[in-house]
Every structure is written in structure tokens, then in C-alpha cells.
Amino acid sequence: MRKGIKKLKPEVVKKIAAGQVVEDAASVLKELVENSLDAYANNIVVEIRGGGMQSIKVIDDGVGMSADDLKLCFQPHTTSKITRLEDLTSLRTLGFRGEALASICSVSKVRIRSKVEDEECGKEIYIEEGKLVNEKEIGMPVGTLAEVTDLFSNVPARRKLLKKENSANTKVLNSVLPFVISNSEVGFKLYQEGSLLFNFSPGHDLMDRLIEYLGEDKAVYLIPITNKTDAIHLSGYISKPQAGVKDVGSQLVFVNNRLVTYNVVNRAVRESYNTLLEQDKNPPFVLFLNIAPDLLDVNVHPRKEKVIFWDDAEVYDFVFNSVSECLQTNDLVYRMNSGSDTDVLQEPISKYMYESLKKDVNTWVPGETSVEIVQMFDTFIVTSTQEGLLLVDQHSAHESILFDQYTEYFNNLDANKDIVFFEKPFLVNLSAPLYEVFKNNKDLLKKIGFEIEDFGKRSLRIHAAPKIYKDHNLSVLVEELLYDIKDFGKIKSIDEKSKKTLMTLACRNAIKAGQRLSTEEMLDLVSKLGESSRYYTCPHGRPAKVLLTLKDLEKLFKR
């Protein structure tokens, strides 16, 4: 049945538009805090309940709104930030669209109180689903209070799709922390379910705020960076390679103090590290780019999260060269993790696992054979087969065999389920987002054998761990487990972490390049290689053996 075109009702249009700006509680909080900052607030208080779905309250001591402005602020396309299109080329405020507050009001219940300095009293308005329900005069200090309750109560489909409260709490926290970092001159307090989560006084040192965001263990590896051209001024912090992590959530880019997603900058930073980082690691960083407003466009995303630069290539080159020069002029020598008085190994190798395997895994006993064989450069073994010449890398070959033996033994170990209690607990400091993940997943960590105590101020004390991991760098291991939970909702695979230990163990104990072997040892090594199809490469993917066929030899000599 054909349906004719009809004009949508205003209330439907509002809800559709709201969906572009108000994605969840975190996006609501972001818009409210931006309004407070644009109002020149010196102090901002945030109170969250029910992951923000129940209520979000933001209180500031900014310049406030007059009674007349208050009656207009929740109407669509009303703003004090711009008056004409040309103003977008000189924009210095975080907000400018005049859509956010109207969108929030259309999908929730909103109470706003505000007072300006030259008025005797303040005024309160109460809005439900975009309609003014009540207004009255009240006594209050200069500033604004905005309280949003029952978010998406009139859009049940959206409310149903939103994540659970625990996940929402983490996302809400992540939405406000960037403002804390980029506005160190402003005081921030955040209350969650009535409890004070963090408290920063105005003018707090930027490094203190970075410690709150990244965690002390990561922050100690930060390097200050600054550079400028006529068009761009860059400042902030990058990290030493030692602090590299798999997650990219610790990478923040601010353009004119606005947090944005701009992959050109992230790629330039990562590629400037080149081989200083493992392939699956990323450097934490916080970068501030100040650019003339007429050289970029911020009007490209409903939530103002993206910008377009005048020249991506120029920005990439500037950031790449700035980071490269900073890395070249700083001491990047790896340091031991000082999170515990106990010696912590840099490599993920377990002494307990090592001793067990060393004692219980049998190595082969050289046998007798008449096959011709030779060692070249004390590194490569060359022997003939029916097919041609077999070239063997003695280290990779032995490493492959040992890894197979260790893996087979490990799979039969009951020790992996045993728990070891430490005489002195290990102390682990977490970033604020990872701490939220920990609080919501204590039972999961306990299930796999960790006894962890919440020590306050985002510090954990590890009293016990699975015995097989007792000599790991537990700070790194626990962080990796929490990243797994954060990214995948579960521990992706504890066996992957065991595999790293086994790989390191096999590499450490394998025959080394430059080690002279007897004929019997070479023959037995080659013989062992033929026992399994798994012995083509070492655990890291390098070839253990290469066959040069008779046909290849004939071609080589043009026969």
C-alpha cells in the first residue's frame, strides 16, 4: 500500500534530532559540563546516580543565566555562542549549535536553576519532554544547576538498548575525565551514588590530573612535549616506549581545548615510535593542539567530536616530526617496575614454571646415525636428504621443540590451579577507568585464582595469585586482564598469557646462535625436527628449517 509524504509532528522531529546529540548518559553529561565551562565556571560539581539514567546533576559557579535567558535556553536552536554563520570561523567556545539542551529536555525531565550577578534572586524552571511545566523564583548564589532525571523515559526503545549500570558508570566517568585534564584551572568534584569519586581544586597541577586518568604507574613514564609553527602550537605529554599498552583509550587529542577523534594525529604519533614499540602496543599520550579557528571546521559532527583540518598532510608531518624529535632527545632506556619491593622481571617468565619444566621435562639423548651433516658459522646446520639440502637454524629449531614440550607439560599441570599467598602483598595502582572495571569484576578475578583487596585511591593489594603466575610482573598482568574485560566483557584468554611465558622460556633455554655442537647433537636435532609437523617455525614465527631441493640446486648451477 502506497503511503503519501507527510510532515512530521514537532514532537517526533525533536526526538529524532535528540538521537543525534543525546546518545546516552555520558553524552548528556558532556553537554552539561561544556555549558558550565563556556559559562567561565571556576568550580564544577557533578553528581551521578544509576549510571546517569536515574539522574545527572551539574552545578557550577559560572556567570549564570538571566530570567529571560533561562526561559529560552531549552528551546531548539537557541544559543549565546554565535549569532551568524561567520562566527563559526572564530569560535572559541565548546558549544555553539543550540541543540544539546533542547534535545536533552525532549527525552527526559530537566530542572534548571540559574542566577546572574545583577539580579536579586535566581529562577528555576522545570521541563518535561520539552515542555515548560513550572517556573519560580528562588534564592541561590550566582551560577547554574542543571539536573536531568529519567533519561529516555519517553523513548523506551532507546532506554532498553543502553548498557547496564556498571558499564554506564564507566562511560560517564570517561566522559568527564578529559574535561578535568584539559581545564586544570577549574575545580572538579565528581560524586557517584553519593560517594566522592575525585576532588580537584582549581589550579591543580596538570600532572596530578594525568595521574588520576592514566594511573601513577603510567604517568611516571610521561615526557613533556612542545613545538610550534605559525599555524599550530603543540603541547602535552607523550610516553616512553616502556609504557606502551594494547588499549588506545589512553590517547587524548584536544584541539583548541576540545576533545576530538582525529586519526591523523593518532597515526602520526604511533608511526613516529616505529620499532621502539611492539607491533600490538600503543603509546599513551595527551596532546593539545591550538590552531587558528579559521583553519579548521568544527561543524561536522552533531556531538562536536570531530574536526576537519585545512591540510591533513601538514598536520601529520608536524606531529610526526615533533614526536620523533622528542623521542630522540630523551632517555628511553627501559626501567624496572618499582611497584613492589620484590624483584619484578621485565619479561613475562615465571620462575615457578621454569623450575617445574626444567626438572620434569626430559631432553633427548643423542643417538647414533651415519648421515652426513655440517655446522656453518656455529649457527646453521646443513645436511642432505632424499629431496635435497636441509638448512636448519639451530636456535629456532631447538626453540620450536622445547616450546612443544613445555606446552604439552603445561597442559597437564595441576599447578596452574594452585594458589600461592604472598608474605608481602603486591601493590598495583590503576587508572580511573580500569579501577571501575575492577570494581565491577572482582568475582571474575577471584574465580581464576586472584585474591585482591581494594586498598582505596584506586590502589589494589594482591594477596594471592595462581601459582604459575606468582613471579610475573603482576601489575602488568592484572592490567592486561582488566583490559580484556573492558574490551571484550571477559578475560579473553589467560592461556595466551601462559603462552608468552612458555615462548620466553623456550627461547631462553634453546641452543644459541654461535654455540658449537657435536655431530651427535646436530644429527639428533635434525632427527627431532622430523617428528612433528609443528616444527616448521619457532613460536615467534621465524623459520626453523628451509629445504633447498635437488631441482633448485640444478637450476642454481644451470644444469
Taking only the tens place, the pLDDT of each residue in 122-169 is 999 898 877 888 889 999 999 999 999 988 876 766 666 665 555 667
Mean pLDDT (the chain) is 77
Nearest to 392 by CA among 377, 379, 402, 404: 379
**For residue 343, is it within any domain?**
no
Residues 317, 196 share a domain: no
d(CA 154, CA 24): 14
Residues 71, 138 share a domain: yes
Q: Please, what is the angle between helix 394-411 and helix 519-529, to 10°?
A: 60
**For residue 412, is it within any domain?**
no
Q: Determine which of 174-183, 381-390, 549-558 has the lowest per-residue pLDDT on average.
A: 549-558
Q: What is the pLDDT of residue 298?
A: 54
Q: What is the pLDDT of residue 189?
A: 92
Q: Determine which of 200-214, 361-375, 432-446 has the lowest per-residue pLDDT on average.
A: 361-375
The sign of the torsion formed by the CA atoms of 537, 410, 357, 360 equals negative
Q: What is the pLDDT of residue 410?
A: 66
Question: How do strand 43-49 and strand 187-192 relate by DSSP bridges?
Answer: parallel
- Is residue 227 scored above 90 in pLDDT? yes
> How many Cα atoms occupy the beta-carbon half-sphere of 307 within 13 Å?
30
Going by pLDDT thresholds of 50, 70 and 90, the confidence category of residue 78 is low
d(CA 539, CA 403): 7
- Is residue 198 scored above 80 in pLDDT? yes
- Is residue 315 scored above 70 in pLDDT? yes
Boundaries of domain holding 133: 10-204
Say how many domains are in the chain.
3
- Is residue 82 scored above 50 in pLDDT? no
Q: Going edge to edge, which strands form the sheet with 388-393?
A: 373-376, 380-384, 388-393, 545-549
Nearest to 293 by CA among 6, 133, 87: 87
C-alpha cell at 484: 580484556
Strand residue runs (E) in 204-272: 222-228, 232-239, 251-255, 258-259
Q: What is the pLDDT of residue 45?
A: 95
- Is residue 8 scored above 50 in pLDDT? no
Residues 29, 156 share a domain: yes
d(CA 237, CA 219): 9
d(CA 200, CA 209): 8
Q: What is the pLDDT of residue 47?
A: 94
Q: What is the value of pTM for the model shown?
A: 0.61
d(CA 492, CA 478): 13
DSSP string, 350-374: -HHHHHHHHHHPPPPPP------EE
Q: What percent of the chain has pLDDT over 70?
A: 73
- Is residue 200 scored above 80 in pLDDT? yes
Residues 168, 88 share a domain: yes
- Contact (CB, 8 A) for 108 and 50: no
Residues 141, 277 share a domain: no
d(CA 107, CA 228): 44
In terms of average pLDDT, the best of 190-199, 215-224, 275-284, 535-544 is: 190-199
Task: Give the CATH number for residue 16.
Answer: 3.30.565.10
Residues 185, 103 share a domain: yes
In terms of average pLDDT, the best of 89-93, 351-355, 501-505 is: 501-505
d(CA 62, CA 40): 5
**Maximum distance among all Cα pairs of the chain, rounded to whole angstroms:** 106
Residues 87, 213 share a domain: no
